[in-house]
Amino acid sequence: MNMTEITDIAKRAKKASRELSKLTTQQKNKILKDMAESLDKNRKDILKANAKDIKNAEQKNMKPSLIDRLKLNNTRIDQITESIKELIKQKDYIGDIITKKTLKNNLKLTEKRVPFGVIGVIYESRPNVTCDVSALCLKSSSAAILKGGTDAINTNKAIIKLLSSATPIKDSFQLIESTDRKATKEMLRLETYIDLIIPRGGKNLIDFVRLNSKIPVIETGTGNCHIYADKSAGITQAIKIIINAKTQRSGVCNAAEKLLVHEHIAKPLLEKLDKQLKTHNVEIRGCKKTQNIIKCIQATEDDWRTEYLDLIIAIKIVPTLEQAITHINQYGTKHTEAILSKNKKNIETFFQQVDASAVYSNASTRFTDGSEFGMGAEIGISTQKLHARGPMGLKALTTTKYLIRGEGQIRT
C-alpha cells in the first residue's frame, strides 16, 4: 500500500466524518443495533478468519498469553455484541452544552461538545479493539481509520466488512490492510485529514507513534501495574486479589506485573502466595530478600521496568509505604496501581501520592476497563494527562467548540 492509497483512505474518512456529524442520536443508535446484529449473525465468518490468525500465531510460536489476546470464540463475540448494545444506552455527548452565558458586551457565548472528526487508531493483536473503536467512533460522530497488527489481519478484515455493511455512511470505518510499518508512518503524516491518533499496544508501538506523528497523540495501553501489600493487609484476601490480578488474564494491560510487600508481612504472605502462583504456572522473579523467603529467579533492573503480558511476576520487599510509593512512581507507567491495606490513612496517602490514571484499594487491578466502569466500551486507557486520562469512553472522544452570537458588536 503506497502513500497515495493511504491518503485516499484519509480523504474518504474526512468526507464520511462530515456526514456522521449530521446524524441524530436515534440514527446512530439504529446503526449500532445493526452493527451488533451483523456481527452476531455472521459469527461463523469471524471465527473462520480468526482461526487462520490463530494458526499463523501458533506457527510463529507466539506465547500463549498473546494468542489468548488474539483469540475469539462465541463467548467473546457475545461480549463484543453486548458491548456495542450497551453503547446504545449510553449518553450521546455530541451537542451537549457545557457553558452558556451573556458577556458584558451582550455577546451570547455557548460552549458545546462536538466530534473530533477523524480518529486514527493503531493497535496490535486484539481484534475486539476493531469493534470497540468502530462503535465508539460511530456514537461520537467521528470516522475511524484502523491500523491493526499483522497477527489479527484476517479477523480484522472480516469484522470491518461486517460493520461497514451495517452502516449507511460509506467509509465510516476503514482498515489499512498493509502490515508494513511504513504504512503506519505514512498515516502519521496526514495531519490535514486525521484529527487524532490513539495507539493501543506495547511500549515499542507507542514510542514509534509518539516519535513519528505529526498528528496529536493520546498514549494508551502500556501497563506496568503494581500491587502493594501493606503492613496491615489481610493475608487471605491479599492472596486472592494478587492471584486474580496476575492470572485471570495475564496478557492484558491491567494485569498486575509487580508485587511490593511490606517487610512485616513478607514471610507469611510470600510462603502462602508462592504455592498459589506455582499452581497457576506463574514464574516468580524476586529481590534478594524475596529469594531468602521463597525459591525464585533474581529480579534485575529491567524486570522492574518490564510489562510482561505473561505469567511472570516480579516481587520486591520494602520497609515502608513511602518506599513502595517511590518505587511505583519511578517504574510504573501511570496505568493502574493498587494498595492492599486495612489502614485508612495509608490508603489515602497512597491515593494522593501515586501517579496513575486508576488507583485502587483492596481490589484487583483487572477492573480498569471501560465496560467495568460503566462506559459500555473504551477506545483505550489513557496513561497521560491531556486530553483524557484513564478508560476513554464516549465523553473522552469529544472536543469543544465556542459559538458566539452577536448583534453588530465590534471591539474597541
Instruction: Please identify which residue in the block is written with the cell numbers 510462603.
Output: 271
Quote the pLDDT of residue 30: 98
Q: What share of the chain is helix, strand, coil (3-state, %, to 5)?
A: 45, 20, 35
C-alpha cell at 12: 474518504
Query: Rounded to an integer, what distance in angstroms lies between the CA atom of residue 68 and that of residue 304?
Result: 24
Sort strands 336-340 and 312-318 into parallel, antiparallel or unpaired: unpaired
Which of 120, 121, 269, 244 lies closest to 190, judged by CA? 120
Spell out, as residue ranges, where the chain has pLDDT lower than 70: none
The vertex-85 CA angle with 32 and 371, nearest 5°, equals 120
Helix axes 74-89, 25-41, angle to 10 degrees: 170
Contact predicate 256/227, CB 8 Å:
yes
Quote the pLDDT of residue 40: 97
Sort strands 283-286 and 312-318 into parallel, antiparallel or unpaired: parallel
All domains of the chain, ordered by start, with CATH?
3-220+379-405 (3.40.605.10), 225-367 (3.40.309.10)
Contact predicate 155/50, CB 8 Å:
yes
First CA to last CA distance, the chain: 55
Q: Tell whether omega for the bond before 226 is within 30 degrees of 0, i.e. cis.
A: no
Query: Rounded to an integer, what distance in angstroms lies between the CA atom of residue 330 and that of residue 307?
Result: 14
C-alpha distances in Å from residue 371, one per residue of 64, 65, 265: 25, 21, 34
Quote the pLDDT of residue 51: 97
C-alpha distances in Å from residue 296, one per residue of 196, 264, 282: 44, 20, 11
- What is the residue-wise DSSP string for 343-388? -HHHHHHHHHH--SSEEEESS-GGG-STTTTTSS--S-EE-SSSS-
Contact predicate 57/151, CB 8 Å:
yes
Quote the pLDDT of residue 371: 85
- What is the residue-wise DSSP string for 225-250? EEEEE-TT--HHHHHHHHHHHHHSST
Distance from chain centroid for Cα 75: 20
- What is the residue-wise DSSP string for 117-182? SEEEEEE-S-THHHHHHHHHHHHTT-EEEEE--GGGHHHHHHHHHHHHHT-SSTTSEEE-----HH
Quote the pLDDT of residue 201: 83
* Phi, psi at 75, each rounded to 5°: -65, -45
Q: Is 283 left (phi over 0), alpha (psi -120 to 50) or beta?
A: beta
Q: Beta partners for 108?
A: 102, 405
Contact predicate 139/394, CB 8 Å:
yes
Quote the pLDDT of residue 373: 92
Query: Rounded to an integer, what distance in angstroms lies between the CA atom of residue 384 and that of residue 386?
Result: 6
Query: Whole-prediction pTM value?
Result: 0.90
